Amino acid sequence: MIFFRNLNLFLCAVCAGFVLAVDVNLDIKPTLKNQKIQKEIIKKLKEDHFFKVNNIEDINNIFHEKLIESLDPSKVYFTKLELEQYGNNLNDESFDLNNSFRILNKYFNRLVEATSYQIEILKDFKFDFSKSEYMDIYSDDNEWKSSFTELRKEWFLLAKNDLLNELLDEDLSDETDSKQIIIDRYERRIRRITQRTNEDYFSIIMNNFTSQFDPHSAYLSPKSAEDFDMQMSLSLEGIGALLGIEDDYAKVVSLVPGGPAAKSNQLSPDDRIVSIRQAYEEKSTDVVGWRIDEIVKLIRGDAGTEVELEIMPSKSLETSERKFVTLVREEVQLEEQAAKSKIISIDSESSNYKVGIIELPAFYIDFNAWRERDPNFRSSSRDVENILRSFNKDNVDAVLVDLRGNSGGSLYEANKLTGLFVASGATVQVKESSGNIRPWGDGRAKQIWKKPVGVLVDRYSASASEIFAGAIQDYKRGIVIGHRTFGKGTVQRLDDLSAGQIKITESKFYRVSGSSTQAKGIEPDIVLPSTWDIEETGESSLDESLPWDTIRPIRHRIYNLNDFAIQRASENHTDRLSSDPNMQYILKVRQKYDQRKNKKELSLNIYERKNDKLDRRSWILNAENARRNLLNFDTFDTYDDLEKFREGIDTDEISLENDFLLNESKNIIVDYLKFSSQLIAVN
């Protein structure tokens, strides 16, 4: 449903009075080379994809409608008639590449038209931010507009909201300056569109096509393949973040474990970058509307130099919310990804317990040293083995392995690490596109840790992390604690094409119990509360993700984990949800998040938005101070004081005081120890 209020004032003027600022008519056509690569891609998908796809025609029949929906998800650039006109497709063995290019020409020309229109509005129209006017921010139930006039209403509201976001920025109160910032952004958008090439078009089309099979299969153009190789090498000096482009903004896709961005604890996946400032510059450079390669050039630099990013936090639910993050560039070293550990002593009911915490950000291995047969090569399993041996010497009672944010890495290392806890045996099953199923594991593994173990996971624990956590759960070797994991249960390979490469999903992971890790991920034995809706991300949130299924289980050892102790530990955790100040704080933040998430319209009244911003900051400050009061901690006088405190937290250290979920996981492990004294060892 679309909401328009009090728009009659401008309708006549904007529909008749403004002229386009730029005369652009993109007319890029497919080449014979495009058609050749297209056939190669289709052949690869039909023959090698995990799901044998012989009915390409079924995808072909809906492809162009899907292409339009991916280009215009909010339904603000195509009318219903245009959808029907361009969405039709012939029932061929391969889709019509000419029609695909026509759709992209139409879309980019329309985007230039809309942007030029918005520029003229900003130059000539006096906005009234005091009246009651609203913009729809819930696009799931939107319908295609019936007329071009309705599209222009949307463009007007989008421009007004962009300007309002700048006016709400604390450093910008002058409307003239704010208008120029938005105009500059819009002009960069047009420049970026006019720089589109045949390769850009073909990449968009083929990636939309491969995404109909699953979200991880993709076509990499020659330039994209080169960038992909550079990203995988991790040898470039920068901030340690993988970026993408979405709606004119550079978006953080993922963080490199041990990199400056991850260590800062101030950047998260889906955060958007607004501006970039070098240490030697006085003013920031607004990068909204820039090409991704231009943005990457600004972010990269010599090791040891600083770069400041202005970002829109992904979890804020307020497009005017901004914060500045200063990072020191450095080359990501293996040591920065290495496992960290800490021993915590807890006195509980006249007993003392030692819990060893291992923080593992990635399943890493120094492949170069390993290939050169260096006997001292670094790897996650070797580092963790050394930690476990030291824990044994220090008489540690239980281990908590923290895999939050660990998006995976080496499958070899996941197998080796599992063996440290379960001895030899299968860790995971791999089903190939041929239908063959084979178990993977470490047949020579020796159990190093024989005492209780907990595994802490969250929604960003993926791939190898899920293999490890799933094996620990299936062997009944330990307790899995936290949030449901990402659900990345597929394996991709890169194949060369006559130009570029194709990343294709070729196999699928299954646990030793026969259950797939795909889509569902790993369900924790004890679920911790979350400050946000984890279902908004993860594999199951992706379009066309492959389904969860099962295969036959394989024989595996079952350890004597104490179910009674787990049940009592779970009950104590439930009690703390209503009594512990930290748990109560998380639940309050989640409740507030859900209230804001369900909003369907956004006010364009500047006073309402300012008050809303102040109310949110006041709520955050009061909620934090209420928590601190109950714990007898010092409180904060202002929201800025709270922000400065959070920015000063040393994320390199394992800290229970500032990590509520880690602290609660420690409580769960201690409760398990209290109710169970059994030794978890091989029978």
pLDDT < 50 stretches in the chain: 1-21, 90-92, 229-236, 678-683
b/e per residue 153-173 (b: at least 16 CB within 10 A): bbbbbbbbbbbbbbbbeeeee
Identify the pLDDT of residue 680: 47
Report which of 665, 217, 660, 620 is spatially closest to residue 479, judged by C-alpha positions: 665
Q: 473 near 526, Cβ under 8 Å?
A: no
Looking at the domain covering 235-328, what would its CATH class be?
A: mainly beta
CA-CA-CA-CA torsion sign (654, 658, 659, 664): positive
CATH 1.25.40.20 fits 336-556, yes or no: no
Q: 49 near 433, Cβ under 8 Å?
A: yes
CA distance 22 to 421: 65
Identify the pLDDT of residue 433: 87
- Which token pair is 123? 């130059």
CA distances from residue 237 to 168, 241, 653 in whole angstroms, order as listed: 34, 11, 24
CA distances from residue 139 to 75, 143, 151, 161, 553 in whole angstroms, order as listed: 8, 9, 14, 16, 42
310-330 per-position pLDDT tens digit = 888 876 656 667 888 888 888
Identify the pLDDT of residue 337: 72
CA distance 112 to 205: 19
DSSP string, 388-452: HHHHHHTT--EEEEE-TT---B-HHHHHHHHHHHH-SEEEEEEEETTS-EEEEEETT------S-
Q: 675 near 568, Cβ under 8 Å?
A: yes
Q: At what angle do helices 198-210 and 32-48 cross, to 10 degrees?
A: 20
Q: Where is 526: in which H helix or E strand?
A: strand 526-527
Question: How many alpha carbons lie under 13 Å from residue 71 in its C-beta half-sphere?
Answer: 27
How do the domains of the chain map onto residue ranges? 8-210, 235-328, 336-556
Chain-centroid distance of CA 638 in Å reads 31
Report which of 198, 186, 255 is spatially closest to residue 222, judged by C-alpha positions: 198
Chain-centroid distance of CA 200 in Å reads 24
Identify the pLDDT of residue 646: 87
| Helices assigned H by DSSP within 49-136 | 56-71, 80-87, 97-124
CA distance 669 to 661: 12
Chain-centroid distance of CA 582 in Å reads 25
Domain 235-328 and domain 336-556 have a common topology: no
CA distances from residue 479 to 133, 413, 649, 666 in whole angstroms, order as listed: 52, 21, 29, 12
Question: How many alpha carbons lie under 13 Å from residue 561 in its C-beta half-sphere?
Answer: 25
Report which of 426, 354, 455 is spatially closest to residue 396, judged by C-alpha positions: 354
Identify the pLDDT of residue 37: 95
Identify the pLDDT of residue 443: 82
Question: How many alpha carbons lie under 13 Å from residue 176 in its C-beta half-sphere?
Answer: 0
147-188 per-position pLDDT tens digit = 999 999 999 999 999 999 889 875 555 788 899 999 999 999
CA distance 340 to 653: 9
Identify the pLDDT of residue 403: 97
Identify the pLDDT of residue 249: 84
Q: Where is 75: in which H helix or E strand?
A: none
Number of separate helices (H) and strands (E) present in the chain = 21, 19
